[in-house]
Amino acid sequence: MKLSIHSVWIMSQITIRQSVRDKTVFLLSFLFLILVLVSAYLGWSATNTVNAIYLKTAVFLAANGLPVPSNPVLESSPLVLLRNMNTYVSLIGALAAIVLGYQMVAGDRKAGVLPLIGSRPIQTGQFALAKIVAVSFVLGAVLLIASLINTLTFLLLPAFHLSAIEWQHLIAFYLASGLYMLFFGLLGMLFSALAKNESIALLVPVTLWLTLTFIFPQLTSSINPMASLNPLSATAAAPTSAFFHYSTLILHPISMVEVYRTVSAQLLGFQPSTSSTHSLLEGFLQLGGGVLLLMGASIWSITRMDMSKGDYSE
Amino acid sequence: MNSAGKNVWIIAKKEIHEAFHNRFLLIVTLFMLLASAVALVTAAIALNTDVATYNDAKAVLLSLGKSADMIVQPEFYPLRLLRGFIEHIEILGAVLGVLMGYQAAATERTHKTLPLLLSRPISKRAILFGKTLGATVILMSGLALIFVAIGLLVDVTSSVKLTVSDSFRMGIIYLAAVVYSLLFFLIGFLLALHTKKLPNALLLGFAVWLMLVLIAPQIGDTLDPDNQVAGGVFKQLHIAKPQEVEILKSFATYETVRTSIEALSPTKHFERLSFAVLGIKDMYNGMALSPVLKEKTVDMYWLAGLLAGLLILLMKMNLNFTLLNKE
């Protein structure tokens, strides 16, 4: 049987519609978008405060005949304003993506529609592809709204003028965020198809997310869990020791949260000079590779689902 | 024990029995233990790296005939290794609490047993109190296991035995951790009892967890002007502490808003108390326990007040019987 793009698109449309109607997905996506707004406000407010502190300090230093250092605000890119986006995408963005991916497959399993789909002349591969198209579409739409909020922020704040290269960096940041969220969406999808138990289907990807977010940074860079929430300290360099050298060597290729944080810190211009030296291209390749790997795994897990039964055991 | 007390204990025993057969809770508890162990071991390795760097630098200085006083010797306090562990309690202890609270109501709702239970000569308060008591015992047991394992691991990784005073300080934080996790149990329990659709309760619980545990402290932390510039804004501007305090006086409103956002989060109160009692924060290191506790009374009141408030809310809110029959 040939791959029917039309069938795939119809199934994707249905899944997208179901996801948009799902209150949980809506709530998490809404929370994410609220945090995008909060991030812009926090960035603006904190940057203004640092600027005001600098001006006061400059007066004090000049009055005491001391040299006045340059303003740290002017030394950084205006994109630094969005540094909290790095934390919100890696926290709530990833969690929303897991729930979305999980719901797209689990919803069908719980509703008992799998035997119906199995009885129709539809290849399970097409069904799997439709789910992947749907998760990519919904995540893309959420990120598009987020990027519009950020674009408006920069247009409304003329003091933070972006150059052409900075606009390109902003687009690349959203591309990296899209790959990162898709990675977690596919993770949710993979386990919702693979698990026999509904609770385990959600618990495993959430546990993996917690491991990647809070445990891996400790092993590779000795970054404490709450420090992972601060965009600046989350990109700190690892202590110079054999243990951290080898743990980074082993874990970095799969440490998606760290890869994303490094890529976004480079793109938004707030990466400390002492931090990781991994290149942007390397980061994008890792994110893309992770997504491709999980796409394959998701297609495999969805196609091997028992279409005569489908529902979870508990 | 009177009949009401007996009923409460029967419900609590049933909760404890169910928890020991719950794979979900077992996985989260073991995960918390593993995460805490990783935090402790990596902290010990990082400290050993600092000590080795210091020793190398000292040897170089001595070989050049210079004084080793030129470099600062790394100080070693075993309880400071617990920073990552405390932060895992903040994050995962709260997850455990939310999951337990959800499970406590979800089992009754999915099996439709709560209305049946309430048709028996047992009060609504006895059921809710029994479930809360059961959760308290489960949390106390799980956290005791984790705290003892971590205490032993500190001995092994640091080759320094914990003193009686250190163990007592850990005991205080253990109790604070139980109260802290219990707060999130009550949040999860209240949501699962009163939300129309049960799966939404769990996700709402996670949304509350995100806001209280991760987002509110994160906002407070990132609004701190000193966290805006790598290395700290005042350090970069070469400003001494007295001048820093003087300059920050002009930003009093900003600081009030920032600290108020942090104060909304029980996580921040638990962290402030723990970091002070365990001497993780420099200014409390080597300080006697009673002045530390006196200074952190506000944080203890916050945690106790929130717990009391949630308990009152749990007892006062009416249960909707039609809702309890629905998954």
What is the distance in angstroms between the Cα of A301 and the nearest Cα belonging to chain B? 23
- Select from A218, A261, A270, A271 the residue whose CB has the most chain B CBs within 10 Å, as the one to mutate to test that interface: A218
Cα A204 from Cα A190, distance rounded (Å): 10
Contact list, B200 vs chain A (CB under 8 Å): 23-24
Per-residue confidence (pLDDT) for residue A235, from 0 to 100: 67
Per-residue confidence (pLDDT) for residue A276, from 0 to 100: 59
Task: Decide if A135 contacts A295 (C-beta within 8 A).
Answer: no
Do B233 and A54 count as a contact with CB atoms less than 8 A apart?
Answer: yes
Tell me, yes or no, if B247 comes closer than 8 A to chain A by beta carbon: yes
* Averaged pLDDT of chain B: 86
Residues in chain A: 314
Closest CA in chain B for residue A50: B225
Do A272 and B53 count as a contact with CB atoms less than 8 A apart?
Answer: no
As a whole number, mean pLDDT of residues A111-124 equals 81
B324 confidence band (pLDDT: 50, 70, 90): low
Res. B48: pLDDT tops 80: no
Per-residue confidence (pLDDT) for residue A201, from 0 to 100: 86
- Select from B87, B228, B265, B271 the residue whose CB has the most chain A CBs within 10 Å, as the one to mutate to test that interface: B228
What are the pLDDT digits (tens) for B294-313?
A: 999 999 999 999 999 999 99
What are the pLDDT digits (tens) for A52-111?
A: 888 888 888 888 887 787 777 777 788 888 888 888 898 889 988 999 999 999 988 888
Tell me, yes or no, if B35 comes closer than 8 A to chain A by beta carbon: yes
Contact list, A23 vs chain B (CB under 8 Å): 197, 200
Tell me, yes or no, if B256 comes closer than 8 A to chain A by beta carbon: no
- Select from A199, A226, A228 the residue whose CB has the most chain B CBs within 10 Å, as the one to mutate to test that interface: A226
Tokens of A114: 């799998």
Do B83 and A224 count as a contact with CB atoms less than 8 A apart?
Answer: yes
Cα dihedral sign, A238-A241-A245-A248: negative
Tokens of A23: 């209150």
End-to-end CA distance of chain A: 35
User: Any idea where the domains of chain B sit in the sequence?
Assistant: 3-222+265-326
pTM over 0.90: no
Per-residue confidence (pLDDT) for residue B327, from 0 to 100: 55
Cα dihedral sign, A200-A204-A206-A207: positive
User: What is the ipTM, given to two decimal places?
Assistant: 0.80
For A138, the enclosing helix (H) or strand (E) is helix A124-156
